[in-house]
Amino acid sequence: MRTIHFYPWMMILLIMISRSFYAQTFIPESVTDQTSTAPLSNPTPSSYQPRYISGFGTDDAFTIFYEDRDNGGLISHVTTTTGPTGFPASGTATNITDTHFCVKDWPITIDEVEYAYRGWGAVGNNTTHKFYVSDDMSTWTEVTEFTIPNAASFTDARGWVYYGFHDVILLNGTYYAFGESNQSQTMILRSANADTVWEAFDSIGGSQSSDGPLQLRTGITAGWTPSGNFLDLGYDRGYAKVHVDPTDSYFYLAINTAAKSSLSDSELETAFINPDNWTWHDNTTGAAANPILSTTAEHDLRECWVVPNSDPDSNWVIVYDADFGSGDGGNALGYALLEPPVPGVIASIKVWFEGPYTAGADSMKTYLYDSSYIPKTSPYIDERIVDTVPPNVVDWVLVELRSNADSDTVAQKSFFLRKDGYVVDEDGTTTELEIEGVTSGDYYIVVRHRNHLAIMSDVPQSLSNEDE
């Protein structure tokens, strides 16, 4: 802990910690439909009718699998090394006609033979699933059919898993997936080996409030698709997964900010599978209301797969299939770009105001709070609003970051000053202050109060977006 000197002398501020910030939200800077008026030129529109996407790969090199409804529902795949505009003119057909086909490039040994890929398919509107293995992505060997039972402890189960996994994730030695039940419940599934033995043990959302925090939007009573893959949000911000509106109108983003990659394997697993940790990207729960992507005049939105990035600052590539209309070949592939939010930083700050300071008690008086004179809306430019002013606070303060002493403010946020000198968040207890919208770097820290001159650190403080 270092004492930082300010102008003027009557205030002292202590920088207790500075490290990365991981918000409860994931608000994209922008989401831009790159094929809003016409599909990708490859695969050639009208030569295929894609549905139900899965894939694997990272950055510009990835493979997409889709059900081709122009070819009897045959699963086909396309591979690119130059991003979504680098697909070939036509897909390569497999020997599978199942729906919701999910593929992972995870080697597996079956009867002492090792295969490079594994996949799962749903057989239709029933409980039957199939497990496949392959060495070349095109010729698949069916291992066996299977069904997915509900665990005895899953007393809130409604129906059974009908439709596939969309993605599978390995956490602490156990494989997990989301599945769709025949009663519009999104179930959480687990397997010891990611093969044919699975069970549903909880739910994360659906058409009823009892299903979990992620519910269908108001007015929609059936259908729900947790589409695409699980995504690491980067910067220890947790995980995400796209959900598709059953009317083919919207993509919603669900996030779990408690499932941080910095946790131990067991802690990450526990956080990931806890339904209470999942919210929409704006930290709301209940009925989906704020999509990240919507239909255009040219096309609807069916399903998608998001390309994982090795660089968390890079734009997401959301590959989707949609009906672009008969003039553009009907169902085809398109894509959108999502610009992720700047992760922000965190700092713990201690400030003493000379006026209300009581030296013997090493504390400040709370006259304004005691007289109910502290408003629920911050008096500063961000006009931050709280439901309740927490106890033991002196007043609102504004924390600012500057890139140099004479520059404009690059980030600012209102907080409360507690009587023990700590600047705290709206709950009155959190001293790790989340300041959004800045990247790693050195910043002067400014504290403003409406009845005092502003104070600023005499040297810049190093704030990082990397876990420390």
pLDDT bin (cut points 50, 70, 90) of residue 439 is: confident
pLDDT at 24: 74
At 17-43, the pLDDT tens digits run: 444 444 678 989 999 999 999 999 999
- Of 138-147, 156-165, 169-178, 331-340, least confident by mean pLDDT is 156-165
Q: If you search the block for the tokens 């023990």, which residue do you land on?
A: 420
The arithmetic mean of pLDDT across residues 168-173, rounded, is 98
pLDDT at 55: 96
Question: What SS3 state is found at 418?
Answer: strand
To which H or E segment does residue 269 belong?
helix 265-272
Hey, what are 269's tokens? 């697993």
Beta bridge partners of 293: 251
Beta bridge partners of 181: 161
pLDDT bin (cut points 50, 70, 90) of residue 374 is: very high
pTM comes to: 0.82
Q: If you search the block for the tokens 């599909």, which residue do you land on?
A: 39
How far is Cα 82 from Cα 361, in angstroms, rounded to an integer? 65
Pick the CATH number of 30-339 from 2.40.50.140, 1.10.10.10, 2.115.10.20, 2.60.40.10: 2.115.10.20
Q: Label the pairing between strands 286-287 and 214-215.
A: parallel
Separation in Å, CA 68 to CA 100, 118, 244, 333: 11, 20, 19, 11
Q: Is the pLDDT of residue 89 over 70?
A: yes
Contact call for residues 335 and 83 (beta carbons, < 8 A): no
Q: If you search the block for the tokens 């295929």, which residue do you land on?
A: 48
What's the mean pLDDT when you consider all of the chain?
A: 91
pLDDT at 227: 92
How many DSSP H helices and E strands does the chain contain? Answer: 2, 38
The arithmetic mean of pLDDT across residues 346-355, rounded, is 84
Contact call for residues 283 and 240 (beta carbons, < 8 A): no
The arithmetic mean of pLDDT across residues 384-401, rounded, is 95
pLDDT at 407: 84
At 411-421, the pLDDT tens digits run: 999 999 999 99
pLDDT at 23: 61
Domain ranges of the chain: 2-21+344-463, 30-339
The per-residue DSSP string of 431-443 comes to -SEEE-S--SEEE
pLDDT at 360: 83
